[in-house]
Amino acid sequence: MKRTTSAVRRLYRLLLDLVLPPCCVVCGKVEVWLCDGCAEQIPFADGPVCPRCGDAWDGPELCPRCRTSPLRAAPITSVFLFQDAIREAVHALKYRGGVQVVDPLSGRMAEAWRCWGLSSDLLVPVPLFSDREALRGYNQSALLARALSTRVEVPIDETILFRTRATASQTHLGRQERWDNVRDAFACSNARDLSGLRITLLDDVATTGATLDACAVALIAQGARDVSAFTLAHAL
């Protein structure tokens, strides 16, 4: 059933591309969702943020949330703001089969990684539940993580972390609903000892941090020394 659903989905995308062909979300060039030249021009997120959770914050210290209820996944570092071309590119990747955007965007992520002096022992993409990954045909976070891993020469593990149950999409949920939705939704396999490792979670968009935090809880329980997060974008 999963294979049939995935095949139908791919056929739908092919037909949709025939009617509405891919075009660069910035300049409109046909046949690519994001051309290399336009990707290079998208500015990095550079506004004042909380140094721990990455939320917009111009105070001298941590934001109020991080002072009272700090996330276990920290710091959360995001390359772009989730707006304009980046929002359209992510939507193309998640809903239109636009995997072509992974190459230019992972290049910019690697540029930011090196520019900001980031380091890690292991990259771990945020997993999708098996049914949703089968429907989409891939895990967009894993695609970005694989490309980034190659570019910055940090190993990746796509098997250690998994979802224990299906969860509702976070898109239309409120802040507390997001936390309730993913609580205890992740676990680690016993195939690998994470003791002492500095792990970086990789995801497409950070919003409230609920998903990243739930992942971090599972990784720390498995022995990880600390868990940070690196995302393509941060919601406004």
pLDDT tens digit string along 153-168? 999 999 999 999 888 8
φ, ψ at 203 (rounded to 5°): -140, 165
φ, ψ of residue 149 to 5 degrees: the values are -55, -45
Number of other residues whose CB lies within 10 A of the CB of residue 51: 15
pLDDT band at 15 (very low <50, low <70, confident <90, very high): low
Dist CA 81 CA 53 (whole Å):
14
CB 134 within 8 A of CB 5: yes
Q: Indicate left, alpha or beta for 196 from its phi (over 0: left) and psi (-120 to 50: alpha).
A: left
Domain boundaries, the chain: 2-234
| Residue type at position 5 | T
Query: Per mean pLDDT, which range of 7-16, 102-111, 182-191 is the poorest?
Result: 7-16
Distance CA 8, CA 19 (A): 17
Considering the chain, what percentage of its residues have pLDDT values greater than 90? 75
CA distance 59 to 48: 8
pLDDT band at 190 (very low <50, low <70, confident <90, very high): confident
pLDDT of residue 84: 96
* 77 vs 136, residue with greater confidence: 77
Task: Give the residue from 116, 96, 122, 79 showing the smallest Cα distance to 227.
Answer: 122
**Helix, coil or strand: residue 60:** coil
CB burial string 219-234: b at 16+ within 10 A, e below? bbebebebbbbbbbbb
CB neighbours (10 Å) of residue 100?
17
Local confidence band at 5 (pLDDT 50, 70, 90 cut-offs): low
pLDDT, tens only, 31-45: 899 999 999 999 999
Domain covering 2-234: architecture: 3-Layer(aba) Sandwich (3.40)
**What is the 8-class DSSP label of residue 127?**
P
**pLDDT for position 35:** 94
Angle between helices 140-152 and 102-115 (to 10 degrees): 50
Compute the average pLDDT of residues 62-82.
Answer: 96
Instruction: Check residue 167 and give its pLDDT.
Output: 86
pLDDT level of residue 14 (50, 70, 90 thresholds): low
pLDDT at 4: 55
Distance between CA atoms of residues 137 and 155, nearest Å: 23
- Give 53 or 181, the one with higher predicted confidence: 53
